[in-house]
Chains A and B, each alone.
Chain A
Amino acid sequence: MSVVANIIALLVMPIILVGTINRVKARWAGRRGPPILQLAFDLWRLARKTPVYSKLTTPVFRLGPIVVVVTAIASACVVPLAGTTSLIAFPFDFVWFAYVWSLGRVALMLGALDTGSSFEGMGASREATFATLLEPVLFLVAGALCLHSGARSFAAVLVPRLDAPAAVVMWVAAIAALLIVVQVESARMPVDDPTTHLELTMVHEVMILDHSGAELAFLQLGAAIKMFVGVSVVAMLLNPLAGEHSLAAVAAHLGLCLAIAVAIGLSESLIARLKLRVVPQYIVVGLIAGGIALLSMLGRGGHG
């Protein structure tokens, strides 16, 4: 059952999450908003379009989006997507997770540089710089979760274990840090603005400026999957039923994912994007949260 639930969640939830966020933002602005499944229609429309390639581009530009989608799915395999367990789990699979994300990011950045556009080079440079600060956050949190639970795989450590005061501190700090990871990685407010275009859009959208047709569809799908994977990680930590093989756990997980999507939609309606100069400092906040999560393990007492 868990396998089926994971696969269905992987197929459906990325689209629903994007739809939910957009619907919440539209409602907040007083509009009706697009249908929840709008992303699916968009992808279908794009996939049938004739692409336009710049004369400067090489195969790197055309193959990059494939890598982005494949790596997004590869990272989804080690995360419990339906509140139960992940499709595959092995010791230190979060290392795999981080490095597969990194591979997708490199493919995206190379595609951007391939166009020879200064805007896209700018976006790639920012993405790469933010990633340098972001990757340690993930490892600090994962390390803290590992030490606390004694488990070594993502599926096993992503369960709330509030058995001591230090564990509560760790839990809060880990969720804060992971939320920042999700915001940066899926290019949401306050780090990046997914609705504007051109150079105003600071990081992600500017890198896909030249992509069109099926390639653009792949990139949008990859970004949606990555966001759902990140949201799932946070939802697992919030879910008191996480790890149980029951319908209640699945329902709670999907409900929490939607709740986080609503929260993202609300926050995007309420706050503005940070200045670019401030973004590294915002990620450092995540780094500090990750550090607190790890250091709280010292207050746990005992060893094991």
Chain B
Amino acid sequence: MVGSALLLTSIPILLIGAGLAAGLRTNHARGIAALVTQALATLVVLISIWPVLAGHATIEVIWPWPAPIDRIAFRLDALGAFFLAWSLPMTLLGTLYAVGYLRPYFHAGRNGGPHFALLNMTSVAFVLIYSVQNALVFLLGWEIAAVAAWLLVIWDYRKQKIRFAGFNYLVSTHVGLFVLVAAFMLLHSYTGSMDFAAFGTYLSSHPVGQGTVFLLLGISFALKSAFFPFHTWLPRAHAAAPAHVSALMSGVIHKAGLFGFLRFTLLAGKPEEWMGWSVLVFGAMSAVFGVLYTATQRDLKRLLGYSSTENVGIAAMAFGVGMLGWAWGNPGLATLGFGAGLLHLLNHALFKCSLFYAAGAVYRATHTIDLERLGGLARRLPSTTIFFLVGGLAMCGLPPLNGFVSEFLIYAGLLSGAAPTTEGDVVLVCAAAVLAFVGAVGALSTTRAFGLTFLGAARDPSLHVGAEEPRSMAIPMAVHSVAIVVLGVYPEVALWLVEPAVQRFQLALGAPATANLATVLGPVLWACRGLAVVLGVAMVAAWRRRRTARASVTWGCGYTAGTARMQYTGSSFSAQLSTLFRPALPLVTHEHLPTAAFPQHASHLSTNHVDAVERRMFEVLGQGEQFVQDTSARIPEQPRFAFAAGLLALVVVALVALGKML
């Protein structure tokens, strides 16, 4: 009772902060109001979820409420506590970053009040979504998060491109909302209640209902978390938004989709085997396409956006493994799957926020994030370089950083040979090979993004590099980078958060509530620590043993008139890979090439890697009207065509009628 009251006081605190931020006179005061109230709310939330994480108890209070809600169940369990534990602190860091990042806009006279207020509202949405188990309140939190994110994205609303990106996001997220509302309406009509517990009782006893709701919720949460092929809004939104908004959306806000998925998996009880397989395959697909797209982007923030699609896919693969373990009654596999997935969500939030912040710092200094123009920033922005490198290496899952730990757990699940049939085992090994492919393409993307931005020389000589980021931007990056390294060698800190949540799944499975993630990780962690120590010592030793060295130019193989424009570019770096995967990575070329020996006209060539799904979608939308016209024109002309269409309609009606009868 005390815990719940305490947790809910964070909402008025945040609302007061939002009001102050909107009402105060100077941007400085507005920022401070938002920061102070968020810090207070974070403190309150952390204190109140402490007993849930330490004692593994569930705080539960039910308030009577006037119709049509009838009662609101406030129920904070370890799963919600896990998400709350890092969502609010990271939003606080993002707000701190915003103070520094938006300063040039403030100097130009922009009012930052609404922006800070919206950041506070995002935190309110987290408290609602993660702790209240009532369909209406959940939807309320969901909408607050969606609309706040939209308004945060269109900070630079004067640019048409940014308004379009925001609108694109708004439409996508609401398509997801319709599906979510449909699922909740179905459940409400079956149970007559808005309470998640009642949903759970119904779902665990009605397999057909469970399947339907699984599909509906799956689509909705996939749209929210930007799974392939529901990701089309994501690269645009992430490229358009200010860096901290991209970071918070990708790292924190859209984890709500996966939270919803886990919440309902837990409520619905033992899943069917096909659900586990479909989540695994869907996740693998998302990971593969997401990572392939990261390899070809020239906009740094778009690249990071696609990497979100990749990483939620990796997490979903882990959850698929967990669901399979549950369906097969294998508690070890279920623990590995759900534990690895949850850990990966946290790890992804850490390194992705850090990377977006670093991309924002690059933008602040150079006013561009186009890989084809950047280069050589390591000498001008040394701290940003280190932060980006740490985040990037963690993103492709390399030891001894945090991304490796969660991916290792996923591999342990996939390669454990725990399936009841050899066929199942073979498919799981194939999934492990897919994950290895994703890791290798991720390594290519990271090398490309980091190497082109920070190493070599600037590809565009006109690029003006400003000063390094202010302290308010450096602190969030530093905190995230330290966390990435610490969770890489001491993931016990994160496992302390993850294990209570995993125990919820173990209890639902009926297995003894002892998580064994630490046991699986034991030896590899010592290997990681050893590697970290040896690497650190060796590098320091090599660095300190400075010998006399001569400085010269880069060896140009005898050619001495090389320029920065002759460096390998982003598109050339990924050209071979994108040729190998051309069907998935369409390339649009606009060219006007020289023809004769002495061309009379200026020629040009431009290539653009477009999103296959979005391109197809717009094509269908654009051609849809034409298609309907053509079809309706053909019917009177061709009797056979009309006959076929009628037959098809008849079959559909017959099938529906048959379904009704059965």
Contact = CB atoms under 8 A, between A and B. Distances in A.
B523 A88 contact: yes
B551 A55 contact: yes
B554 A63 contact: no
A125 B576 contact: yes
A299 B420 CA distance: 16
Interface string B392-417: 01001111000010011001100111
B314 to A, nearest CB: 14
B632 interface: no
B531 to A, nearest CB: 5
B551 A53 contact: yes
A58 B538 contact: no
B524 A121 contact: no
Contact of B415 (A58, A146, A290): A146
A190 interface: no
A69 B537 CA distance: 13
Contact of B379 (A58, A132, A209): A58
A69 B538 CA distance: 10
A71 to B, nearest CB: 8
Nearest to B575: A125
Contact of B376 (A91, A110, A116, A140): A116
A114 B417 CA distance: 43
A54 B459 CA distance: 17
B574 interface: yes
B65 interface: no
A28 interface: no
Most buried by A among B407, B437, B447: B447
B554 A124 contact: no
B534 interface: yes
A70 B532 CA distance: 10
A74 B531 contact: yes
Interface in A150-167: 150, 152
Contacts of A103: 393, 398-399
Nearest to B444: A128
Given A116-B376, A295-B426, A131 B443 contact: yes
A294 interface: yes
B304 interface: no
Contacts of B378: 58, 60
Question: Which range contains the number of A residues in contact with the other chain?
Answer: 35 or more
Most buried by A among B420, B435, B577: B577
Nearest to A67: B535
Given A60-B378, A95-B408, A121-B573, A147 B524 contact: no
A147 B429 CA distance: 9
B600 to A, nearest CB: 31
A113 interface: yes
Most buried by A among B433, B552, B573: B433
B429 A132 contact: no
Interface stretch (B1-9, B181-189, B207-215, B449-457): B449-457
B520 interface: yes
A50 B548 contact: yes
Contacts of A140: 429-430, 433
Given A115-B555, A139-B435, 7 more contacts: A56-B553, A91-B412, A92-B412, A117-B555, A147-B425, A147-B429, A294-B426
11 contacts: A52-B549, A56-B456, A69-B538, A95-B407, A117-B567, A118-B568, A124-B447, A125-B568, A140-B430, A140-B433, A198-B557
Interface of B: 375-376, 378-379, 385, 389, 393, 396-399, 404, 407-408, 411-412, 415-417, 420-423, 425-426, 429-430, 432-437, 439-441, 443-444, 446-448, 450-452, 454-457, 520, 522-524, 527, 530-531, 534-535, 538-539, 542-543, 547-557, 562, 564, 566-568, 572-577, 580
